[in-house]
Amino acid sequence: MTSPSESEMGVDDRPGDREGLEFARKHLEAMPSSTAQRLALSEAYFRLAVLPGAEIEAAINLLRQAAAYDPYHPKLFFHLGRLLHQNGEPLAAVFEYRRALRLAPRSHRISVHLALALLDAGPEEREVTPRVLSAIFAGDDGLLMSAITELDKLIAWRSGATSDHTRPNAKRSSEDALIGQGNCRWRGFWKLLLVTELGRSKPSRKSLQMMEAAVQTLGEGQNGVGEYALAGLLFLLDSRTQSTQVEAWLLKPAMAAHQDRPAVRLVRSVCELGAAGTPEDFVRHAGKKLEKGELPPELVCCLHYSWHGQSAELDPVGAARLLDQYSREIVSLPCFRELRVAILDYHARSAWGEGRLDRAEILWQEACAADPLRIPVIHNLALVATRTRDVEKYQRSWERSAELRYLIASAAGDLRVELEDRIRFHRSFAQQSRLRYVPNRAVGREDPADKELLAWLEDREAFDSWLLESATAFLNLRLRFQSPLHLLGIPLDCSDDSPQAAAEALLRQFQLCFRGRRWTGVLTFQSLMEELAAKAAEFASDPIRRKRDLSFESENSEAEKLTKEMIGHGFLLYRMIQLARGAASGNVRLSAFRAGAYLVNMPWRFLEPACKKMGMVPADANLLEVFVSHIVALALEESRKGAAAQADLRLEILEDCIRGAPEALDFRLVQCHMLLSAKRFRQAYLIALEALPLTAKMADQKEAAHLQEQFIKAVDNAVVEQIPEQLRSPTRDNLPAFIAEVRRLLAEYPRAGGLRLMAADVLIRTGRDAPARLAAAKEMLEEGLDLLLSDEQIREARQLLEKAGSQTQTLDAVSRIRELLESAAASARLAVQLTSGERTPAKTREAGEKLESAIHEAAQAEELAVEAGLSAAAETARSLGSDLRKILEGIEKG
Amino acid sequence: MRTFMIDLKTQSHYSELGIGPDADAKEIRDSQSRIIGELRRKLSRVSNPDEKRAIDERLKTVNSIGDKLSNPKERQSYDAENSHLTFFVIRKASAPILEDRELRLRWIHKGVRDFLVERGETVAPLADLERSDFSADYTPNQMLDDILESKRRG
């Protein structure tokens, strides 16, 4: 590893370098693979990554690529650690520095930067830092390795790779001797030691000794003067009382020749501010120095805050007035906005501590005006509303607090921004709800008692909050995973369609949690979520890439933990649903019904195998089916017993159930029932029609036939229910009104086959003497023949059509018979008239002809009646014919 | 809307010991010992069996809670299950650099150094985290350098 260059060449990107390196990278990539080519590529990637001005995330990726080509060069892991540290990931940086140290165990540069990352990591890592620093200071490689071994134990403990759950304790080290550079080969070491020392406590004897030691190293040249003066400045940041001491350092003989150096002038300027008597004097002098460009504004802000910002002498109004004494230009600088927020927050926290909630609220509102997107301020305002029990403010401020956590992630275009805080937010609300009814047990982890669960279910506000917050926490917990497989919650050996199904399940969970939340930025959050899920699914769909999921192994234990937690949560929901069945309380049933919606929206396709693996359920169990059957039973019970006013709520919950388990058609049937009960006929009709073809996809044919029958009934019921009560039993009197109503309904609901058949039947039955009715029945049936929903309906329609047809024929026959018989009777009457007076041969002949014609007509009528099966009419015609023949015989005999 | 109202004074293992959720290991042990001492003294004074039983139960609870919270892993797990205890507390809204002493020192060092460098001062960065030029870390590579050279020459 090369020694670091201490010279700075400016921070601007050098386009020429970048262009050349990009060209070289492409050129090298096109070359055949060889060791030399790979090393050259690694170097090209490295140089691109460390170019001044390189975007940090891109630089991290470039270094990872460089390390893939040359995994044995420590500088690659060192710079990876450096960039991760700069990117706010000190733990990840520790891991990379550790890798670099394995390749270059004696590098003090790496060790020093490892120590810096440890300082910014967790409290446990911070405890290891003094040992690492001591070892570097002493230049003792053995001691350094011992400290690193301790760190390795800590890394193993953090990653859960050790069976020992006790946190490794950091060994204490003596740090008193750490003054100066020691044997460290890295030049800036003494400054780091000083910063670490000053960072731990106010200026101490040890830090003063450090400055004394440092001045000894100042040579006659320019080297070290700036660093020394700047180190002196650090003593002033917390305490202006050090001004005299710092001025004395500046006057040391070694510094005498450097009094005009910018660093010395700057520190002296700060010392002058330290000598200002009152806060007002400080502001006046600082303002002037800022205007002259003698001091950087960030430094003045820090000094203002630590010297006067937390002063008990100034009340909030005085503190705010003091800030207003700076010029408008200065106050508008971003660092001064930070200063304002910090001062207002300091006073607000003091007021909160004293129980002066109204004052705290006003001050945080002022801070909010300075920065409306600052989560802690909104969070604190929500806590004020909680303590004052102001319902309206409480709701508004916590909603805003949640909204902001999502908005900031959306604005950053990164779902992981504020992720941990969001998880804590949702978990905390969920835990508060649970603890109200299921208290923590001091010993063991007994399951909640039935009565505790029932009491919880009864409190719908608390229970709904638990459901929503738990589900949202689970959703956010998934976002923690870098591994696409763990993000989706699928195993390494998943089936081909699993990634897509898991991505859809994730988005369904999002919909369940965020539907109805009209937060700013939530749509952006949703599209980021969709993008992430799609990318993960695409990655996981490729079996080769799946095996290269670098984070899979390291995140496995965390993923298993989440799976177990989700399963436990799911089974608790299931237990609540079982408990609520038969419950007298509507609140309990409704809460449990909602729990059902959350239950079926959990990704059971991927959780069930884990349940089976853990032996929680038999290998042939179908959990979703079991859950659905219980939820359906509960839903029906609730629909039957529940208040009519809750109909919309029940339907809303059921829609969530359907979204979670679209293949469970029982839910749709219940939905039809509920819609019918709520008199939402059009929706019931459409939903039943939509569900009907889905029965064909069911594996269980018997169940499919049963459901099909039920949906057809639902279609008809949705229409029949709309017929006015007085028309439901058609009589001769109300028949026209009934038919008119049926026609109107069928125009709107043409697929109500049952109603169509029933109306046609009525028409046919009452149509013996009304051919128009028969024609109407035929028309109604013919129109709807293609719209009928089952073979049975079609068969019935055909039968009715036949019946209507035959009845029409009969009516025609009756009419013809009647005509013939009337005509025969008329002829007979004429014949009798002709022969009743004075008979003449002509009259007798004419009467005979009339009678013969009448007999013929009677015979024709008889024949028609026989053909139509009208026996009475046939008998009448026969009898008439017989009577006519007798008359004819009488006439012929004279 | 969020209608369920949280309670800022919920009972917890910490409240049982009369300490805050941010208490360190020593505070936990001290509090446990203090309460156990008080309970034992009380136990020696009471004669009523019901009272004795109640004190015994309380002793068991305090012992169990104290042991649990003294075990870092168990405490971590308890805290994770009860994150509301540390979540529903007032937060500092000021920028971390104004509150964290070490962070502030490093931040000011960097800011002032940049300010001074602009004015012609020579001040080395505190660490590589503040540097931007790493050309000294380049490793000479014949193949790469030849390509770069040929590109430079056009």
Identify whether the C-beta of residue B39 lies closer than 8 Å to the C-beta of residue B58: yes
* pLDDT reported for residue A259: 87
* pLDDT reported for residue A10: 35
Rounded to the nearest integer, the mean pLDDT of chain A is 88
Q: Which residues contact B101 (CB under 8 A, 6 or more apart)?
A: A198, A199, A200, A238
Mutate which: B133, B142, B145, B153, vs A, most A CBs within 10 A: B133
Asked whether the predicted pLDDT for residue A221 surpasses 70, the reply is no
Closest by Cα among A781, A761, A764 to A772: A764
- Average confidence (pLDDT) over B125-150: 90
| A 214-233 near B (Cβ less than 8 A) | 222-223, 225-227, 230, 233
Alpha carbons B131 and A492: distance in angstroms, whole number: 42
Q: Which residues of B touch A39 (CB under 8 A)?
A: 141, 143
Structural tokens at position A428: 């905390």
Alpha carbons A459 and A582: distance in angstroms, whole number: 18
* pLDDT reported for residue A522: 94
Alpha carbons B30 and A802: distance in angstroms, whole number: 97
Contact A24 B135 (CB under 8 A): no
Where is average pLDDT lowest: A102-116, A431-445, A605-619, A821-835? Answer: A431-445
User: A570-613 pLDDT, tens per residue?
Assistant: 999 999 999 999 899 999 999 999 999 999 999 999 999 999 99
Contact A40 B141 (CB under 8 A): yes
Please name the residue of chain B whose CA is at the shortest distance from the CA of residue A342.
Answer: B94
At A446, the pLDDT band (50, 70, 90 cuts) reads low
Which pairs from A553-559 meet CB under 8 Å and 24+ separation? A554/A159, A555/A481, A555/A482, A555/A483, A555/A486, A556/A486, A557/A159, A557/A160, A558/A160, A558/A480, A558/A481, A558/A486, A559/A481, A559/A483, A559/A486, A559/A489
Asked whether the predicted pLDDT for residue A2 surpasses 50, the reply is no
Contact A10 B123 (CB under 8 A): no
Please name the residue of chain B whose CA is at the shortest distance from the CA of residue A378.
Answer: B93
* pLDDT reported for residue B53: 92
Of B16, B92, B129, the CB nearest to A82: B129
H-state helical runs in A275-333? 279-292, 297-304, 316-324, 328-331
Reduced to 3 states (helix: H, G, I; strand: E, B; else coil), residue A220 is coil
User: A670-702 pLDDT, tens per residue?
Assistant: 999 999 999 999 999 999 999 999 999 888 899
Alpha carbons A436 and A441: distance in angstroms, whole number: 13
Reduced to 3 states (helix: H, G, I; strand: E, B; else coil), residue A572 is helix
Please name the residue of chain B whose CA is at the shortest distance from the CA of residue A343.
Answer: B94
Please name the residue of chain B whose CA is at the shortest distance from the CA of residue A49.
Answer: B134
Contact A431 B82 (CB under 8 A): yes
Nearest CA-CA distance, residue A432 and chain B, Å:
6
In b/e form, how buried is each residue of A106-136, taking b as 16+ CB within 10 angstroms? ebbbbbbbbbbbbbbbeebbebbbbbbbbbb
Structural tokens at position A493: 């050996």
Alpha carbons A304 and A308: distance in angstroms, whole number: 5
- Average confidence (pLDDT) over A715-743: 89
Contact A465 B97 (CB under 8 A): no
User: B82-135 pLDDT, tens per residue?
Assistant: 888 889 999 999 998 898 888 888 889 889 999 999 998 888 888 888 888 899
Where is average pLDDT lowest: A444-458, A692-706, B43-57? Answer: A444-458
Residue A445 contacts B, CB cutoff 8 Å: no
* pLDDT reported for residue A286: 95
Q: Which residues contact A42 (CB under 8 A, 6 or more apart)?
A: A66, A67, A69, A70, A73, A76
Alpha carbons A366 and A369: distance in angstroms, whole number: 5
At A164, the pLDDT band (50, 70, 90 cuts) reads low
- Average confidence (pLDDT) over B42-52: 90
Sorted by where each starts, the structural domains of chain B and their CATH numbers stand as 2-92 (1.10.287.110), 103-153 (no CATH)
At A50, the pLDDT band (50, 70, 90 cuts) reads very high
Structural tokens at position A172: 């204490």
- Average confidence (pLDDT) over A859-886: 88
Q: Which residues of A touch B113 (CB under 8 A)?
A: 226, 230
- Average confidence (pLDDT) over A438-445: 61
User: A286-334 pLDDT, tens per residue?
Assistant: 999 999 999 999 999 999 999 999 887 889 999 999 999 999 999 999 9
| A 806-865 near B (Cβ less than 8 A) | none
Alpha carbons A433 and B7: distance in angstroms, whole number: 9
Q: How far is CA B59 from CA B15, B31, B39, in A?
A: 15, 13, 7
Mutate which: A184, A259, A431, vs B, most B CBs within 10 A: A431
Asked whether the predicted pLDDT for residue A558 surpasses 70, the reply is yes
At A222, the pLDDT band (50, 70, 90 cuts) reads low
ipTM higher than 0.90?
no
Alpha carbons A269 and A267: distance in angstroms, whole number: 5
Contact A167 B72 (CB under 8 A): yes
Which residue has tokens 């916590």? A398
| A 133-172 near B (Cβ less than 8 A) | 165-167
Burial of A808 (0-12, 13-18, 19+ CB in 10 A): middle
Q: Which residues contact A838 (CB under 8 A, 6 or more apart)?
A: none
Where is average pLDDT lowest: A306-315, A415-424, A499-508, A512-521? Answer: A306-315
- The residue with greater pLDDT, A183 or A461, is A461
Contact B127 A113 (CB under 8 A): yes
